[in-house]
Structure formats: C-alpha cells, structure tokens
Amino acid sequence: MNANQTNSVRTAIDIAIDAPVNEVFRLGGPLEEYWWIPGWKCQIVHCPNDRVEQGTVFHEISSSPFLLGYPGGRTRWTVVLRDDDNHRVHFRLDNRCSTSLYKIELHDDGRGGTVGTLDFTYTPTNERGRRLARKQLDSKLRLMISVLGAMLKHFCENGELIPASAIAQMVRADRSLAVTDKIHFALNRLAHARLVDLDRARFLAAYPTAGSNL
C-alpha cells in the first residue's frame, strides 16, 4: 500500500494495447466510454461539442463500491488536464468520502501500438474515507483500473465489448474482495440498471461506432 501522512492511497498499472495511440487516446472520456464499457451510464454536466476537453464534468455511480464502500453513491469527475499532443488526460474525482486523481498517460510504442500507465491516487476527506483507505483499498483500486484497462484493450484490439465472463473472472480472482464487497457490486449493478441516461441514447444515435467522426 502506498500511503502518506494524509492516508492517501496510490496504485498504478502499465498497459500495452495493439492499436495506434491516437485511436486509444480518443476513447478516454465519458461519452466515448459508451462504446467500450459494457452498460456504461453517466450524467454529463459539461462536455462542449461532445468532445472531452479540460473542464469537462460528469457524474457516475459505477465506482461507488470502490470509492465510497457502498452501492449507488455518486462521484463527480472533472477533467483537470487534457494534453492531446502528449496523450495525457487527468481527472479529479470528488465524492462524500474522498478526492482522487486519476491519470491516463499513453505513448506510441514505436511499432504502431500503445503503451502507457493508469495511475490512481485516492485521498480521503473524512473518517469514512480513512477507514476505507485502511481496508485493502490499494488492491481494490488496482482491480478497478485493471478492469478499465482490460475493457479498453479488448475493445481497441477486437472492435467489440469485452465479454462479461472475462470481467467476472477478474473479480473472482481478486482476493482483496470480501463478501460484503461482492454484495455491494451486485446492488450497484441493480442501481446502475435503473438509471435513465439520455446522453447515452443521444450520443450513440449520433456516433454509433468508434469509427464515427467526433
């Protein structure tokens, strides 16, 4: 566990994707995630011209079991850095328990593919957040960004959503999850399924495939 005196928890993973870096990088935003995250839903607050730019803001509940420790809680994401030339996008995540920084930084691997890092730092803002930070949160955050990385890699390399069975296998193999965590995941899926997301329908009608021009 990587922690400092404020009980921050940091974890990072390396990724390698057999697809050009420009194609991978353009998928790093809340609208584009409709293409490659199965069942993705969010509430867009600010995203001008359907393009992810610095200052883009959206809310989601998918991360609630990881970041809040219960199902259905909302986290606000804000793009605090968007560097297209160097293929970097950084998000600040704010909720009732924490503020976090999630960094996606990608590079050309010199052979037409992509390598990069997904880096997540969680900083609790109250006692509940500090309790979460002490309960194998580094392993849970690693699972969260590993699942995101696997989804992105599969879509970029295969042109389709990752099978649900592959994600289920990653979750089953993770020993940091308690029975309570798995119950929270199940309840979160139910809450997520009930969400009405008008942006999803609008975006996919305008841009039905990742090959569409944004």
Q: What is the DSSP string of 106-152?
A: EEE-SSS-EEEEEEEEEEE-SHHHHHHHTSSHHHHHHHHHHHHHHHH
pLDDT for position 176? 85
Supply the pTM of this predicted model: 0.93
φ, ψ dihedrals at 132, nearest 5°: -60, -40
pLDDT for position 86? 97
CA distance to 56, 100, 166, per residue, from 152 (Å): 20, 21, 13
Four-point Cα dihedral 93, 142, 40, 86, nearest 10: 70
How many angstroms separate the CA atoms of 129 and 179, rounded? 20
Q: Using alpha carbons, select from 150, 77, 92, 152 the residue that is nearest to residue 122.
A: 92
How many angstroms separate the CA atoms of 146 and 153, rounded? 10
pLDDT for position 6? 65
Identify the three-state secondary structure at position 86: coil
- As a whole number of Å, the CA-based R_g of the chain is 17
pLDDT for position 52? 84
Parts of the chain with a pLDDT under 70: 1-6, 214
